Structure 1
Amino acid sequence: MRKSVIDVCRIWGAAGFLLAGLAAGASEAAPTPDKPETVVEAPFGAYLAGRHAQHMRDYQSAVRWFEDALRADPESPELITRTFLMDASVGRFDRAQALAESELKLDATDAMAELVLLVERVKAGDKTGAAALADALPQEGVHRFVRPLARAWTRMALGDVAGADEALQAFEKFNGFAPLKFYQLGILYDFAGDAERAADNFKQALEASGQLNWRLSDSLANFYRRHGRDDEAQALYQRFVRDNAGSELAESVLARRPAGVPPPLIGSAEDGLAEALFDLASVVNQPETLDLALLYSRCALELRPHMVLAQLLLADVLSAQNKPELSLATLAEIPQSSPYWWSARLRIAANLELLDRMDEAIDQLKEMAAEEPTRAGADMQLGDLLRGKKRFTEAVDAYDEAIRRFEAAGMPERWSLYYSRGIALERSGQWQRAEADLRHALELKPDQPLVLNYLGYSWIDRGENLQRGLQMIQKAVELRPEDGYIVDSLGWAHYRLGDYPSAVQYLEKAIELVPEDPTINDHLGDAYWQSGRPFEARYQWRRALQFGPQDDEIKPIQAKLDGGSVPTAGAARGG
């Protein structure tokens, strides 16, 4: 099965930052506490509704149900715990703070309750109380990365620079956290007025990072400009553009920034803690740890409500949790005068697409493309949107314009853009152009598994370059053995070549990896049928129908169940 690229660009690159095993411990932070359930009968309906909403990640509804239940049974440990976590998750810090002390009486090691109270103490100006709460944060468990950051900035509030430095050295025991440690030390010493140590730590952060991320680039450039090193700042921005081919972040932000010496990024220790929590939220902004990213970004915004990068991150997390309406509300809080408004508008269009408000999303992207005729980002996103809706010819037009703009600007070519246009061209019946794009994508990114898979699959599906196509898909499976869609491609390639035993082998593996995909179930049914296993074939076809196939796939599957023919090797195209 062919699988398209989803290009996700984060402000803080997470590669190399995550400690192995973090995702496995994410359930500790997810709002699903495992405590004795002592809910009394009266609020039980509201409690059950709250748990269902929480399971569906509808935290806005969950908190309302839990609050209703808690009013009826205010001493319930289960309700206190769940209501507290939901209040924090939706950003209701006044209520979360009121419940945090009750939660700590139930569980003195609850790191989120300690963090919420710490944020409250920082905002209240209680420097000593905040430092004590930072010291109480756990050194183990999924929240273990918060403690060094909180201890560092609460000590900065007390004027203890040496203590703040010592606190950040705790990151030494965590694999992959060197870039974050040195970056935090850089902004810490910059805030303290020690330019020499700040520059040294910023330099080490650059050396420790792989691909340059925007936050580090912008912070260091800000430092350079405030110290009369404008050429180095400009060179750093140019490096960011080079390392992140196709990213318009630097261009769109710099175009709207006022001239002159910029103000420091951090104006207080409170700002520093907000920055630290934002950085950590960016690091854990992964599918397995979205709840952590949500909680930390909420804490950052509680400390610094108008931190636009944190607002963008929160919007991304909410979109990833399938809450586009909440993401739109967050983006609406960003002023149109912000240098990040262009980035916000791209996200607004993406959320409109999620809400199936397609005409509005398309109009917005076309308007943006017309406003900035040298930028390609809006056209790229428009192409992805149209391709996702199977409007392939229109998608090709959008990708054509994006590539034209890249070439005109002298920007490096992006393999993913040629790959995406290649898919749209192939699906719109323009095979010669499609093949050229897919080949070019491989030239730009040799051994890219998605491109290997799509081009190899297309060749086999067309009866061309059969052995080379099979080898390419085999290579893609070697590179991504747990990608069920690529494994499905290999199984279906064997099917198309008439090797039904091998087809069954790989398609069964694909089903293990993606059990509810209708196309893979359909493919396995066909392979069973050709292997003389008709009962199992019919079972898989029925499963395929249960899992919501596309409209144009339903009739062929139903026809096979009704006794129609099953495609053989080299016959009609498969998924």
Structure 2
Amino acid sequence: MTTRLIPLALIALIAAPMPQGTAMAAPSLAQAEKPEPQNSERPAHRPADTAPEVRGLSGPYLAARMAAIQNDYPEAARYYLQALAHDDSDPFLQDSALVALISAGEMERATALAGTMSGQGRATELARLVQRAEMARAGRWDALIEAIDAAPSPEGDAGTPGGGMLIDGMMRAWALLGAGKAGESLTAFKKMAELRGAAPMVNYHLALAKARVGDFEGAELLLADPVTGAHILGVIARAQVLSQLERNRDAIAMIEATPGFAEEPYLVALRDRMARGETLPFDSARGPADGMAQLFLTFGSVLATTDEPDPLALIHARLAEYLAPDLGEARLLAAQLLQGFGQFDLAEREFEALRELGDMRPVAELSRIDALARAERLGDAEKAALALTAAHPELAQGWIALGDMLRQQDKFAQAVPAYDKALDLIGDASPEARWFPLYARGIALERSGQFPRAEADFRAALKIRPDSPQVLNYLGYSLVDRNEKLDEALALIQRAVELRPDDGYILDSLAWAYFRLGRYQEAVAPMERAVAAMASDSLVNDHMGDIYWMVGRKREAEIQWHRALSLKPETEADAQRIRIKLERGLDAVLEEETAAGGRRPEVRAPEPAKAD
């Protein structure tokens, strides 16, 4: 997730209890206010897992609920709208449909539904938020101020503008600026900044507002504070402010001191423009609607920083891109959230939108490639990686991604040059950054029949991370398979087992190493542990059968081979080999394979991760 978009202090701000009168607007995902039935002790809020009490809705309602559980937002929206066709006045269905429509990016239909709910006098918190975004997009600032001021106030907080909600208070400040009341706007921001814990977020928006009205000195004072401006949008805004103050040299130094700036082409472009003597325009917030879009982005980014991102993060990201369609960070956040929710096709739409904006940032493209690969669209992922390396040939991560996509399609020989390029770009200055491409290139080399180079890469990777179970396992098994340096090979695998004693792949390697060395009795225990860890893996069960056969447990061997067949071996050749073993026994198979030059089993290793 894009945690770098916001100061870390904001995480604490949102996670901690808000001060009285500053609760964050949090639209309900599955609950909506329903009138309290007379003479009933049931709560006014219907639980999320309770079906609406209306007839004729069970089919579409249950389909909508299932789609929502699976994060299939377009389908959930379709079925909820079908249910609403039977009864368009149920607030539970309306709010659920609204969530699905926004999550799917169908903002026109969402705003229409929010208007219907308001017209019925049934507007929920989410519906009111959507209507405020619509007013801001249309530039109806006076109407927006009036709507916020008329919002219901939390109990005990009557009279506070915006119902006492932090997000409403900040929207109101931006709306005042849109209505031409700059003084009142700045005063409102300053008042919000006094709230406990709110200053980092509010001061960033106050800085944007100050810069919008020409107070660049005041904006610089705020953005210079790391807790206010130490995120990519803050860095961009500050660079523009400094440039407006004729301080290009300071702006360049600030950009170059930003961690990872070289991987952000937009920051590099800003630096280069100022180095040529150009004065940057201030367009970080071209108006109050842009400011409100960044407000939604801020809340969405904070909600996305949890281990399991809050679905509300996507709601806020969608509202941000609705208000500012060319705000790349909002589209990137939406894309990454959709990836995390398993909605790869929806994520791809956001990545395509970024490309259409001419905003091919490496972080976005790398996320896009990952999303395509996880959706098993490896050909499209390869094309995206090729496009990234063409646009940014200086980016090592792009070449690594290309190598990975080629390797995952078994194009091992083609993957090698991609890893070569990545390692050339990384150089020798950053050994840790070399570990993964060395390991991955080693696999590609080994699988393309270039073992001497592969061995050198594996050993170089082990110098960087001596206790990498992945590399120890791969190198050790490769040596055993080649009948080379057998004592060292077995020691490498045994060390990998010590580091990951429950890893089924590595246990399988250890057992198979014993098997290849003829130490069949010693192979039994680790292979049984491997089967326990990977009971549904066809090859592991096949190996178990071979080992049982060699220690004389032939009936058990046949059971394992039958199980391996039932688990659908990876290739038809593997399946046929198991059938022959069942018909004629392993001894006959091995004799024929020895006469034909031997059968070389593949190294048993999981897809390499970028970190152990």
Normalised by the length of structure 2, the TM-score is 0.67
Larger radius of gyration: 2
**Aligned pairs (5 A) from 1:144-155:** 148-155=166-173
- Quote the residue 1:66 is aligned against: 80
Q: Which residues in structure 2 correspond to 1:25-36 (within 5 Å)? A: 34-36=48-50
Match of 2:5 among 5, 12, 15: 12
Shift of the 562–384 alpha-carbon distance from structure 1 to 2, 3 Å rule, reads: same
User: 3-state DSSP class of the match of 2:204?
Assistant: helix
1:481-540: CA deviation from partner (whole Å, max 9, x where unpaired)? xxxxx73345446645647556656875x56xxx87777787899999999898899589
Deviations 1:200-242 (A, max 9, x none): 5544436997xxx5444334333333333323332333334x6
Amino acid at match of 1:457: N
Contact 2:207 2:223 survives alignment (8 Å): no
What amino acid sits opposite 1:130 in the alignment?
Answer: I
Q: What SS is found at the alignment partner of 2:282? A: coil
Residues 280-429 of structure 1 aligned to structure 2 (within 5 Å): 280-283=299-302, 284=304, 288-289=308-309, 291-334=311-354, 336=356, 338-340=358-360, 362-363=382-383, 365-366=385-386, 369-370=389-390, 373-407=393-427, 413-429=433-449
Equivalent residue, structure 2, for 1:205: 226
1-structure distance, mates of 2:458, 2:229: 34
SS in 1 for 2:172: helix
Residue 164 of structure 1 is aligned with which of 162, 172, 189? 189
Match of 2:468 among 439, 452, 456: 452
Deviation track 1:425-453 (CA, whole Å, cap 9, x = no partner) reads 34334344334444545656x58xxx812
Offset at residue 63 of structure 1 (A): 1.1
Question: Distance in 1 between the 2:530 and 2:537 partners?
Answer: 15
Alignment partner of 2:110 out of 90, 93, 96: 96
Preserved CA contact (<8 Å) 2:63 2:79: yes
Matched with 1:274 is 293
2-structure distance, mates of 1:170, 1:553: 69
**Residue by residue, what CA displacement relative to the aligned partner does 1:359-394 show, whole Å, maximum 9, x if unpaired?**
565455445544555444543332121122121211
Moved more, 416-425 or 346-355: 346-355
Q: Secondary structure of 2:62's match?
A: helix
Which deviates the most, 331-340 or 119-128? 331-340
What is the rounded CA distance, in whole Å, between the counterparts of 1:264 and 1:543 in structure 2? 62
Q: Does structure 1 retain, via aligned residues, the 8 Å contact 2:290–2:323?
A: yes
Aligned partner of residue 288 in structure 1, secondary structure: coil
Q: Contact between 1:43 and 1:72, CA under 8 Å: does it hold in 2?
A: yes
Deviations 1:393-422 (A, max 9, x none): 111111212333444999995543334333
Contact 2:217 2:245 in 1 (8 A): no
**In the superposition, relative to structure 1, how do residues 120 and 37 fare at CA in structure 2: closer, same or farther (>3 Å)?**
same
Aligned to 2:453: 433
Task: Tell whether 2:104 aligns with 1:83.
Answer: no
Is the 8 Å Cα contact of residues 326 and 357 (structure 2) preserved in structure 1?
no
* Structure 1 residue 37, shift from structure 2 partner: 1.1
User: Residues 204 and 229 of structure 2 are in contact (CA less than 8 Å); yes or no, is this contact kept in structure 1?
Assistant: no
User: Secondary structure of 2:604's partner?
Assistant: coil
In structure 2, do the counterparts of structure 1 residues 468 and 342 end up closer, same or farther at CA, with 3 Å as the change threshold? closer
Counterpart of 1:236? 254
Structure 2 counterpart of 1:265? 284
> What displacement does 1:277 show?
2.0
CA–CA distance in structure 1, aligned partners of residues 545 and 241 of structure 2: 61
Identity fraction in percent: 22
Counterpart of 1:152 in structure 2: which amino acid? M
Aligned length: 528
- Identify the range of structure 1 (555-564 vs 268-277) with the bigger mean alpha-carbon deviation: 555-564
Deviations 1:336-358 (A, max 9, x none): 56354777666666666667665
Shift in alpha-carbon separation, 1:229–1:286, aligned structure 2, 3 A:
same
In the alignment, residue 225 of structure 1 is paired with which amino acid?
S
State the one-letter code of the partner of 1:282.
Answer: S
Separation in 2, partners of 1:437, 1:301: 45
Separation of aligned partners in 2, 1:431 and 1:528:
31
Residues 259-307 of structure 1: per-residue CA shift (max 9 Å, x gap): 4323141234432231132233334067722633321211111222221
Residue of structure 1 in register with 2:245 after alignment: 227
Equivalent position of 2:484 in the other structure: none
Provide closer, same or farther for how the CA distance between residues 405 and 182 of structure 1 changes in structure 2, counting only shifts above 3 A: same
Q: Using the alignment, how far apart are the partners of 1:551 and 1:390 within structure 2?
A: 14
Q: Distance in 2 between matches of 1:230 and 1:404?
A: 33
SS in 1 for 2:503: helix
C-alpha contact 1:285 1:317 (8 A) present in aligned 2 = no
One-letter amino acid of the counterpart of residue 69, structure 1 = A
Contact 2:462–2:471, Cα closer than 8 Å, also in 1: no
- Structure 1 residue identity aligned to 2:48: D
Give yes or no for contact 1:275–1:300 (8 Å, CA) kept in 2.
yes
1:187/1:160 CA distance change after superposition, 3 Å: closer
Corresponding residue for 1:54? Answer: 68
1:221–1:233 CA contact under 8 A, matched in 2:
yes
Gaps of 5+ in 1: 1-7, 140-145, 173-177, 478-485
Given that 2:385 and 2:402 are in contact with CA atoms closer than 8 Å, whether structure 1 keeps it comes out as: yes
Task: Mark the CA change 1:334 to 1:247 in structure 2 (over 3 Å): closer, same or farther.
Answer: closer
Aligned partner letter, 2:442: G
Q: Determine which of 145, 159, 170 is the counterpart of 1:127.
A: 145
- Residues in 1 aligned to 2:132 and 2:538: alpha-carbon distance in whole angstroms: 49
Deviates most, 389-398 or 375-384: 375-384
For 1:5, the equivalent position in structure 2 comes to: none
User: Aligned partners of 1:432, 1:116: CA distance in 2, in Å?
Assistant: 62
Shift, 1:553, TM fit: 9.1
For the Cα contact (< 8 Å) 1:70–1:79, is it kept in 2?
yes
Superposed displacement of residue 34, structure 1: 1.0
2:610 aligned partner: none
Label 1:426 to 1:376 Cα distance change in 2 as closer, same or farther (>3 A).
same
Bigger relative CO (Cα 8 Å, ≥ 6 apart): 1
User: Does structure 1 retain, via aligned residues, the 8 Å contact 2:505–2:604?
Assistant: no
